[in-house]
Amino acid sequence: MTTFADLGLSAKLLKALEKTNLKEPTPIQAQSIPHIMKGRDLMGLAQTGTGKTAAFGLPLLHRILDLGHPPAPRTVRALILAPTRELVTQIHDNLTVFTKGTSAKVIMVVGGASLNRQAMNLARGADVLVATPGRLIDLLERGDVDLQATGYLVLDEADHMLDMGFIHALRRIAKHIPVKRQTLLFSATMPKDIEEIADTYLRDPVRVQVATPGKPIEKIVQGVHFIPNGDKARLLEEYLKKHPGEQALVFGRTKHGSEKLSKLLAVWGFKVGSIHGNKSQNQRDRTLTEFRNGELDVLVATDVAARGIDIPGVRHVYNHDLPNVPENYVHRIGRTARAGAEGTAVAFCAPAEMDELRAIEKVMKKPIPIIGGAPWSAEMVAAAPKPGQNRGQRPAGGGRPGQPKAQGQAQKSFAPRGEGKPAGKPQGAKPARPMGGGQSPNRAGAPQGAKHSRPQQNRRPA
């Protein structure tokens, strides 16, 4: 059995590791750390929850601690780029634990926080800077940080960085970093664009792969439930009530829809919070802390949280809306079954989401087991509005989204083929027509009058 001591890490790091839950290296750590300590560029492919942060963080800290003197003002020795604020925070927190009792200084910068305060933190320099690309460019343009002495560059969750449109930001940042450096790229999937990035920024890299890209953790029990869009909230309520006291993560497609669903679950008595792009960094941090501490049972989020949430207590992941980027499904469900635990992942599929489901199953190279309803017919799929379609229009009958139609008006049934009523649908309830990919549950207590937002776009965080 390989131990961290066998990998040659410094005594100070080994002492810090003794106070963590890391007792022996994971496969990605055992295979990556020796190459990184030798100074090789590396491309690491591993699914979420396999310990990638320690795989690159520990050997970088080992090499930096060997220098024996502090960094110069405003300079950075090692730069770690990650696509979301939550992931940056998670990496920063892990590295801070690893550096306890050492002289290494780890700083994080993200959008949504005070730019001036971050500039002040960087004034004395940093051994390791963990950053989102957008905020780092802000600091570079102001002259608050200097990357000319940066000898290490880490691109974490590189595939998600591409999905969010950060390739142009990466090119701008790379111009500030010396060509002679050590570059590490970690990703859970391997699209063609990642290969091109590796060819551009890595020199003769070692490739370490410990799992098939896109393959979810085997301990996750998956299932898909075919359900009309307007009935999803009711079905989610049933699932949540089946597992009282067990933490659940719910993913929505849009910021507006996720917030609306969160408020609806709160009305129904659940201890719930939400994180998405419309929340400030302080709000997101506070909600994640409450969820991590067990003060919340349910967290509703957009894909901003698909990566960067490492909470061992999450037992269930519900894809209330299927992602339009199929690889994000793998990262979403990877939020459960952490640290060797077991977990379940249930996907809700409306008629308009059949294409997304097929794309997900293509990435995974196998079908998701059906646990409710039946696959939608081609006629139903063709008739269903796609996410974002009919945006801002009211349902026939003049009611607001989520309200029943006027008395006496007919409403089209969206029952799955071969089924009378979707599982869990109370008698007499009428599903509302899907609007813009959001939630329109026909139930008392639903927030009224909210406008539907556009689907969440890939854009640089604030």
Domain boundaries, the chain: 5-209, 220-383
The pLDDT, as a whole number, for residue 408 is: 35
Domain 5-209 grouped into CATH 3.40.50.300: yes
Q: What is the third-level CATH fold of 220-383?
A: Rossmann fold (3.40.50)
pTM of the entire predicted model: 0.64
The pLDDT, as a whole number, for residue 61 is: 96
User: Going residue by residue through the chain (462 aa), what tens digit of pLDDT does each one get?
Assistant: 689 999 999 999 999 998 888 889 999 999 999 999 999 999 998 876 678 999 999 999 999 998 888 999 999 999 999 988 888 998 999 999 999 989 999 999 999 889 999 999 999 999 999 999 999 999 999 999 999 999 999 999 888 787 777 889 999 999 999 999 999 999 877 777 788 889 999 999 999 988 655 555 667 899 999 999 999 999 999 999 999 989 999 999 999 999 999 999 999 999 999 998 888 878 888 998 899 899 999 999 998 766 667 777 899 999 999 999 888 898 888 888 765 678 999 999 999 999 999 999 998 889 999 999 999 999 999 988 876 554 333 333 333 333 333 333 333 333 333 333 334 444 444 444 443 344 433 433 344 444 444 444 444 443
The pLDDT, as a whole number, for residue 310 is: 72
Q: Comparing 5-209 with 220-383, is the CATH topology the same? A: yes
| Distance between CA atoms of residues 28 and 20, nearest Å | 18
One-letter amino acid of 218: E
Checking phi first, is residue 435 left (phi over 0); if not, alpha (psi -120 to 50) or beta? beta
| Distance between CA atoms of residues 224 and 236, nearest Å | 12
| Distance between CA atoms of residues 165 and 154, nearest Å | 18
CA distances from 325 to 87, 187, 321 (A): 18, 15, 12
The pLDDT, as a whole number, for residue 236 is: 97
| Distance between CA atoms of residues 256 and 267, nearest Å | 17
The pLDDT, as a whole number, for residue 305 is: 62
